[in-house]
Chains A and B, each alone.
Chain A
Amino acid sequence: MRKENNTTKPGRSELSSATRPAAGHSGSFRSTVRYAFLSSLPVMAGYLVLGTGFGVLLQDKGYNWLWAALMSVTIFAGSMQYVAVDLLSGGATLIAAALMTVLVNIRHLFYGLTMLEKYSDTGWRKPYLIFALTDETFSLVCSPDLPEDVDRKNYYFFLSLMNQCYWITGSIIGAVAGAALSFNSAGIDFAMTALFVVIFVEQWEKTKQHLPAILGIAVTVACRLLFGTESFLIPSMLGILAAMFLIKGKDKKGEGGNER
C-alpha cells in the first residue's frame, strides 16, 4: 500500500513546497529542533517504555547495561532487539541469526523505497537517516506537511537522532533498573510475546487478507511439532517463504484464468 503511494505521489512538487529554493537553509535552526522535539514526543513515550522492557529482558539473561547500550546504538530495531535477546541467550548460530534478522526486518525495505526521493537530497545526513529509519521514525517522516519555518533535512535528522536517544536511554534504564531492583522476574519474558501479539492484532485489523498471517502461525506450529524447540526456526522460515509463493501462484491462476 505504501509502495503504491510512493509511485503515484508527486514527490518533486512536495519537496519544492517544503524547501524554499532560494535559501539553501530555509527555516530557523531553533524552530526546526523545537518542531522535531514536539513531533517526537509520542515516540519518546513508546521508546522509553519498550526500550526499558528490552533492557530488563536482556539484563535478566545476564547481559548488563553496556550490552543493552551497544545493541541499541548499533542495531536500533525494536522488535529485532527483543528477538535478539532470545538469540543471544539461546546461543543461536550466526546463520540462524542472519536469517531471522532478514525475516523480521524485511519490511524496512519498503520504508526505504518510500523515502528514496525525500531522502535523496539530504547530504551528509543521509547515511544516518537510512540507518535510523525505524517503524516509528518512518511513520513520522513520511507524513508530508511541515511548517514554513522548519528546515526539512534538519528536521529529519534531529527527529531520527532524538528517537534513537530515547531508545538507548530506555534500554539502559531497563538494564540498570532490572539489576538494581530485586523482584521475582519470572514471567517477564512475556513482554516480548505481548509485543508481538499486539503487532499481530494491529496488522490483522489493517487487512482483509488474513491467509498470510494464518499460514505464518500454522507453518510455524507444524515445524515446532515436527522439528522440536531447538531447530524449528529455519524450517519455519523456509516453509513460510514456500507458502507465500504457493498462495501467490493460486492468486495468479484465479485471476489469469482467461489469460491463454
Chain B
Amino acid sequence: MIDPVHSLLLIAVIAGVTALIRFLPFLVFHKGTPKTVLYLGKVLPYAIMGMLVVYCLKDISITGSTHAIPEFLAVAATALLHKWKHNTLLSILAGTVFYMVLIQLVF
C-alpha cells in the first residue's frame, strides 16, 4: 500500500472523472453530438480493451525464467474457454485458477 493521502486523491480523481463522463451527455449533448465524439465512442472501446489486456501483461518478459509461457497459456485458455462457453464468470474463474496452478505448481 502506498501513501494513504495519495491513494485517497487517486480514488477522488477516478471517481470524479467517472462521474463527469456519466453526467456529460446529460449536461452537454442535449442537441446533437459532435461527430468526432461519436466516432471515438464507436472505435475506442475496442482499442482500449486491447490496450488493457497488454497493460495487464506489462511485466512479462520473454527472456525471463518462465519465458512468459504461463501468461500466454492462461490468456489463450481464457479466450478459448470464453469463445466456447460464453460464460464470463466461468472464463475468469477457470482462467485465473489455471494461471495460479501454472505459476505455483508447474513453473
Contact = CB atoms under 8 A, between A and B. Distances in A.
A241 B44 CA distance: 8
A119 B54 CA distance: 36
Interface majority SS on B: helix, strand, loop or mixed?
A: helix
Contact of B53 (A97, A111, A133, A193): A193
A109 B41 contact: yes
Interface in B41-55: 41-55
B99 to A, nearest CB: 4
Interface in A69-94: 70-71, 74-77, 79-80, 83-84, 86-89, 91-92, 94
Interface in B21-69: 21-26, 29-30, 33, 37-59
B83 A201 contact: yes
Nearest to A206: B46
B51 A92 contact: no
Interface stretch (A14-22, A30-38, A144-152, A232-240): A232-240
A198 B95 CA distance: 10
A131 interface: yes
A10 B54 CA distance: 41
Contacts of B74: 190, 193-194
B47 A216 contact: yes
Interface residues on A, range: 35 or more
Contacts of B47: 212-213, 215-216, 219, 240, 243-244
B51 A219 contact: yes
B30 to A, nearest CB: 7
A79 B14 CA distance: 12
B1 A62 contact: yes
Residue picked from B23, B46, B93, most chain A C-beta under 10 Å: B46
Nearest to A83: B52
Contacts of B51: 103, 216-217, 219-220, 236-237, 240
B1 A106 contact: no
B15 to A, nearest CB: 4
B22 A195 contact: no
A204 B50 CA distance: 10
Nearest to A224: B58
Nearest to B95: A194
23 contacts: A3-B38, A3-B42, A45-B89, A46-B88, A63-B7, A80-B18, A84-B10, A101-B17, A102-B21, A106-B40, A116-B26, A194-B78, A194-B91, A194-B99, A197-B75, A197-B95, A198-B91, A204-B46, A213-B50, A216-B48, A217-B54, A219-B47, A219-B51
Please provide the 3 A-B residue pairs with the shortest distance between their CB atoms, ordered closest to farther.
A216-B50, A112-B25, A216-B47
